[in-house]
Amino acid sequence: MVKQNIRAHLSMLAATLLFGANYWIAKGLMPDHLLPMQIIFLRVLGTLLISYAIQLSIKELRVLKIDRADFPRLILSSVLGVAINQMMFFTGLNHTTPVDAAIINSINPILVLVFAAWLLKERIGMARLGGILLGAAGALTLIFFGNPLSISGGHLKGDMFIIANTAAWSLYLVIAKPLMVKYNPFLLMRWIFLFGFIAAFPFTIKQALEINFSTFDTYTWSAILYVIFGTTFLAYFFITYSLKRLSSSVVAYYTYLQPVLVAVIGILLFAERISVVKIASGLLVFAGIYFVTRRNKIPK
């Protein structure tokens, strides 16, 4: 059990690293190479095809089924976690900065905590609450003293889309939790991305038909492959696996790492300046992770 919990936390760390890099990679694609809805179409369709290929190629997975009673929850999870989440995120990121988006997403653990206590009756506990507050302090330190939000011009529009993205993702983590515990991750991903693709199709197909693949250079193809296989397929798989062992609020807590990772990537690759504020923010976040995870029990 301890080893399984460790693997679950390592899976969430891997997913967080993939998401952290995605802010810069996806931003680099828009709008010169691809438009938001074009990225979403390729991302969801690509992940759907990968999930189908894996399930069809493994005999044990081909016989697995979803209970009919679980389809309403599955469809709602797909709409929230794939269609709304991704459309809001990429539209918002197209109008704001990677740092702004990562900072706004740091409210995710608070929203999940509220939704989980309300819908799943999850117990918070003083250690977890203290850890979440420490993580919030780290994120707020980065917001107000390290990378202040850009609320002028087009950034405000983008920031509002990111807020909607965060709310949809938070609700997804809570509503999908019982499904993650019950079903195989590959089976779930196949259905989640099938319904997610159907939900997103009317909003993405027009721009998707305008994609000119002949103009793609090496960077464009590399970035698209990363978004499809890394940020979508692998990250969703890691999160699905982690939700089998960890509570929704603990999984969401890793969002606090994203502003730190985005800042680190900016320092290493985009010549952003390192500062005492960024170091202090990172230490607060990691301290919070310790308190959130040290006595985490598997929810029944």
255-280 pLDDT tens trace: 767 777 777 777 777 665 666 766 77
Q: How confident is the model at residue 80 (pLDDT cuts 50, 70, 90)?
A: very high
Q: What pTM did the predictor assign?
A: 0.78
Among the residue ranges 17-26, 48-57, 68-77, 280-289, the one predicted with the least confidence is 280-289
Residue 240, pLDDT > 70, answer yes
Between 188 and 300, the more confident residue is 188
Residue 298, pLDDT > 50, answer no
Condensed to tens digits (0 to 9), the pLDDT of residues 124-136 reads 677 767 777 777 7
pLDDT of residue 300: 36
Q: What is the 3-state secondary structure (H, E, C) of the chain?
A: CHHHHHHHHHHHHHHHHHHHHHHHHHHHHCCCCCCHHHHHHHHHHHHHHHHHHHHHHCHHHHCCCCCHHHHHHHHHHHHHHHHHHHHHHHHHHHHCCHHHHHHHHCCHHHHHHHHHHHHHCCCCCHHHHHHHHHHHHHHHHHHHHHCCCCCCCHHHHHHHHHHHHHHHHHHHHHHCHHHHHHCCHHHHHHHHHHHHHHHHHHHHHHHHCCCCHHHCCHHHHHHHHHHHHHHHHHHHHHHHHHHHHCCHHHHHHHHHHHHHHHHHHHHHHCCCCCCHHHHHHHHHHHHHHHHHHCCCCCCC
Between 152 and 37, the more confident residue is 37
Q: Span 173-178, mean pLDDT?
A: 90
Q: How confident is the model at residue 296 (pLDDT cuts 50, 70, 90)?
A: very low
pLDDT of residue 175: 93
